[in-house]
Structure 1
């Protein structure tokens, strides 16, 4: 009996301890449940508040739309005004595009003209330098042309005299001059005369060469002056175009 009483007492203590623990767990669970429910309630309250604000905004938008619908006739007038302004802007844009295209064409023409003028100026300078060089060489050429002529004129009589002396000596020695020798000497004399005539320029040819050089120089100067006048004309045309714009 004593042993049974001891065992019952022991089980009763364990039962009591278990009940106490269960009560503690229940209290803790209830506290956590309460906190969870409070948190859920707050979230639901915030969501309802956000939906209420969204509904309020939607209501404001609906009111604005209603007011716009009420003012539709005035909106139609504004639409007509904007259409007129749009057409006007399109026309001005087309005019500006035409002016830009015209200016681009004029710029291309001016660029082409400027390049051509540079090339013509370079050719003009080269031609003027060549002409000046030829003009400066004319006196030297005249001297060089005259001096071989004078030398040949001096040499020809001397050669003729020496040749005659040799022929006379040979004729004296041989008694007679062979015909073949006479023919050879006459051919040599004619060749020398022909060379002198070919290498010698006449004075009128020198004068003609100088006149041609002068005409070339004058034509170059006239082309330069005409290029300057064309520049002035292009500048005047550009000024007229600017005034018309």
Structure 2
């Protein structure tokens, strides 16, 4: 951007990596909506202009946050076992990373992935599908179905964690009554389950549904998993 700061940031030993790390800390604490370059500079004890010695603008800084969070995910635990084990491990590792940074991780899910870390995430996910004998095009389609589920489910879970407190029995009962008041027989039949969420079980259910679907489509036996696709509560 051609903007020069006071140089105090350099005297404090700031680097681009330290600025991004500080941004992650601030966003995780205060949320993305309230984040600004000015607030980050105040956190670091420097003038806002000094940050531009390290990042060209706010958008580049947010890209750096997303790339850093993604690069910090270790998918080595998703490279052993059957293809079904690897898909489950990949999903579990990715979700765990999101839950460690519930306010900052939406940047990973909403900004275009162009970094090497993003390609490694894709490669690791594709590696779990190699035994299915899919062609390149169908592999990508299966990958995108998987990514759509992962991203959508995590965004829903993170949104709930940020905006909603844990519902007490009274709130659950109130929600059931609201649903029942619609008079719709179908909604009434599922009201007690629709009023609550169990993110762990629902995540497992969705992953098993995807795995079972891929197994059925390709004729590969489904191993049953740890979370059967029937008889589980969902919302």
- Same fold, judged at TM 0.5 (above): no
TM-score by length of 1: 0.21
Q: Which structure's relative contact order is higher, taking Cα pairs within 8 Å and 6+ residues apart? A: 1
- Greater percentage in helix: 1
TM-score by length of 2: 0.21
Between Structure 1 and Structure 2, whose CA radius of gyration is higher? 1
